[in-house]
Copies of this chain bind each other. A is one copy, B any other.
Amino acid sequence: MKNFLKISILATSMICSINFAQAQKPAIIEDFKPSELNQPQQEYPMVNSQGYARFKIIAPTADSVRVSLGLGGRGGTKLAKAEDGSWMGTTEGPMDEGFHYYNVRIDGGKFNDPGTLNYYGSVRWESGIEIPAKDQDFYALKNVPHGNVQQILFPSPSTNTSRRAFIYTPPGYEKGKYKYPVLYLQHGWGEDETAWMNQGRANLIMDNLIAAGKIKPFIIVNTYGMTNEVKFGKIREFKIEPFQTVLVDELIPYVDANFRTIAKKEMRAMAGLSMGGMETKTITLNKPDVFGYYGLLSGGIYASTDFKDKPQPKLIFISCGSKERPDGVKKAGEELKAAGFNAVSYVSEGTAHEFQTWRRSLYQMAPLLFR
């Protein structure tokens, strides 16, 4: 009885929302295909050419199933019981292009969609879905020479453990003799050192830029920024020192000792997304002799006054999505340029505080580094 009532209410609300949607939006085109981030042999979730996502979750005796993704706001997409006993639903509108984290609420618990691969965000491994973007070519896996991504375990006396980092080395690194510049590239709050290569596709972005002759090859290093040791609401209480020690006193010397790097400030960059941008700003200003190039990706801005009594960096790169606060980014870029800095601002069109903004930002920033 309880179930019957719920289904009736759901059916009614679905009819309302369909009417509402039809009044405003074109019809959904039924060209759905499996998301490219699905686990092997999994059909769902699917995405269509308009950017709608369709989900299917098997949980025959569940009372309610809801996907955290959907059009605007916190509600997400309620799934409805289909004839075969599965739960199905389509987002109310098209999603932004690119990568999205999500999870599935089943009877009040938070789980992952068994159909998809998992990506670390929100301090948990979340489900991932990819809405094909018009510019997806720049991070596609193509038939070009590929660099490698390697996991290193570096000694960290300050935290009394071996810590993990991922290192992208450009194509030809293994058998070559060249030394390379290094970009230290940080993830955001809730994420970890896996983010940039997994959901960010930093390695493929680099492979494609190098193959196109658009950049000089460099190494990328990702490590955990210890950002998740504070709760999201208390980020202002985050203390930079422990991570700064790991990065500057432990990781950089290890990388310079074990990889063919050009171990000097003019050939070393730091950038980060979101809270990784906060870290970048603080550490680059605390340690002006370590890095020569600075990047904040949806992670705040520099003002010319930040550099009082400090050397000018070779480059300041600031970016965000057009659905964030692009005016602040543009204004900061202009202010820095007017003050004589080599500053570049970039706004990713049609994207929010998500990885498509950061993939594009890396693509824009990489050719400007180590010039």
* Residues of chain A having any CB pair with chain B under 8 Å: 39-41, 57-64, 85, 106-112, 114, 117-118, 123-125, 141, 143, 146, 148-155, 161-162, 167, 174-175, 228, 257-260
B146 touches A106 (CB 8 A): no
Q: How far is the CB of A116 from chain B (nearest CB, A)?
A: 9
B143 touches A162 (CB 8 A): yes
Q: How far is the CB of A164 from chain B (nearest CB, A)?
A: 10
B153 touches A146 (CB 8 A): yes
A-B contact pairs, 19 of them (CB 8 A): A39-B123, A39-B125, A41-B123, A57-B109, A58-B110, A59-B107, A59-B108, A59-B109, A61-B63, A62-B108, A85-B108, A106-B107, A109-B114, A146-B153, A148-B152, A148-B167, A150-B151, A174-B260, A175-B257
B148 touches A149 (CB 8 A): no
* A112 and B39 alpha carbons, distance in the complex (Å): 14
* A141 and B150 alpha carbons, distance in the complex (Å): 17
Q: A39-B124, A57-B109, A114-B124 are in contact. List 14 more A-B contacts (CB 8 A).
A: A58-B110, A59-B107, A59-B109, A60-B109, A61-B63, A62-B107, A111-B114, A141-B161, A141-B162, A143-B162, A148-B150, A150-B150, A150-B151, A174-B259
* A124 and B113 alpha carbons, distance in the complex (Å): 11
Number of copies: 2
Nearest CB in chain B to that of A63: its residue: B61
Q: A148-B150, A151-B148, A258-B175 are in contact. Are A58 and B108 (CB under 8 A)?
A: yes
Q: A141-B153, A146-B162 are in contact. Are A62 and B106 (CB under 8 A)?
A: yes
Query: Ordered nearest first, which 9 A-B pairs have the shortest CB separation?
Result: A150-B150, A59-B109, A146-B153, A60-B108, A62-B107, A61-B107, A148-B150, A111-B111, A149-B151
**Chain B hits for A118, CB < 8 A:** 118, 125
B58 touches A109 (CB 8 A): yes
A155 touches B141 (CB 8 A): no
B162 touches A152 (CB 8 A): no
**Chain B hits for A107, CB < 8 A:** 59-63, 106-107
A111 touches B117 (CB 8 A): no
**Chain B hits for A154, CB < 8 A:** 146
A40 touches B123 (CB 8 A): yes
**Chain B hits for A114, CB < 8 A:** 109-112, 124
Nearest CB in chain B to that of A160: its residue: B143
* A61 and B107 alpha carbons, distance in the complex (Å): 5
Nearest CB in chain B to that of A126: its residue: B114
**Chain B hits for A162, CB < 8 A:** 141, 143, 146
* A228 and B42 alpha carbons, distance in the complex (Å): 13
Q: How far is the CB of A124 from chain B (nearest CB, A)?
A: 6
* A181 and B37 alpha carbons, distance in the complex (Å): 35
Nearest CB in chain B to that of A2: its residue: B2
* A61 and B41 alpha carbons, distance in the complex (Å): 30
Question: In this complex, which of A151, A167, A258 has the most chain B Cβ atoms within 10 angstroms of its Cβ?
Answer: A151
Q: How far is the CB of A282 from chain B (nearest CB, A)?
A: 23
**Chain B hits for A148, CB < 8 A:** 150-153, 167
Nearest CB in chain B to that of A151: its residue: B149
**Chain B hits for A161, CB < 8 A:** 141
**Chain B hits for A60, CB < 8 A:** 107-109
* A114 and B104 alpha carbons, distance in the complex (Å): 11
